[in-house]
């Protein structure tokens, strides 16, 4: 699935690296990687900032909404995200984070994860 551009994927990979460097991700909570990095805080706050990010990273707002809708229907059987730029941008970040994590090589420790993220960013 080529839903996200390279810059967006790299931004989200960098968010994982930041969480590792800030000790928010440890060997003890490695299984909660996606939740900790992409679901414990907002990616973007504010409708204007969210709209700018969507316009810069997607064809248009409708494409962004479609990505979220398709993901939610596939994962949960229904579309629930409120349609506004802030909610859509934050859900897109959640989805993008999931994609980045799935593209990383296997890792069993934070050190291996850090190496995998650095290699991902260097590619």
pLDDT digits (tens, 9 = 90+) for 28-75: 999 999 999 999 999 999 999 999 999 999 988 999 999 999 999 999
CA distance 30 to 19: 11
Residue 53, pLDDT score = 96
Average pLDDT, the chain: 95
Residue located via tokens 């810069």: 56
Torsion of CA 43, 45, 47, 49, to 10 degrees: -70
The pLDDT, as a whole number, for residue 32 is 95
For residues 106 and 69, which has the higher predicted lDDT (pLDDT)? Answer: 69
pLDDT value at position 2?
A: 65
| Separation between Cα atoms, residue 40 and residue 123, nearest integer Å | 28
Give pTM, 2 decimals. Answer: 0.93
Every domain of the chain and the residues it spans: 6-122
What's the pLDDT band for 18 if we cut at 50, 70, 90? Answer: very high
């Amino acid at each position: 699935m080529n839903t996200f551009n390279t810059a967006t994927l790299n931004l989200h990979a960098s968010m994982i690296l930041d969480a590792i460097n800030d000790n928010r991700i440890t060997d003890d909570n490695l299984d909660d990687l996606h939740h900790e990095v992409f679901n414990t805080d907002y990616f973007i706050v504010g409708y204007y900032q969210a709209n700018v990010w969507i316009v810069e990273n997607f064809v248009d707002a409708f494409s962004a909404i479609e990505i979220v809708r398709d993901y939610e229907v596939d994962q949960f059987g229904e579309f629930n995200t409120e349609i506004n730029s802030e909610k859509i941008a934050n859900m897109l970040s959640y989805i993008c984070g999931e994609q980045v994590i799935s593209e990383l090589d296997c890792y069993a420790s934070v050190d291996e994860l850090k190496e995998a993220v650095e290699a991902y960013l260097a590619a």
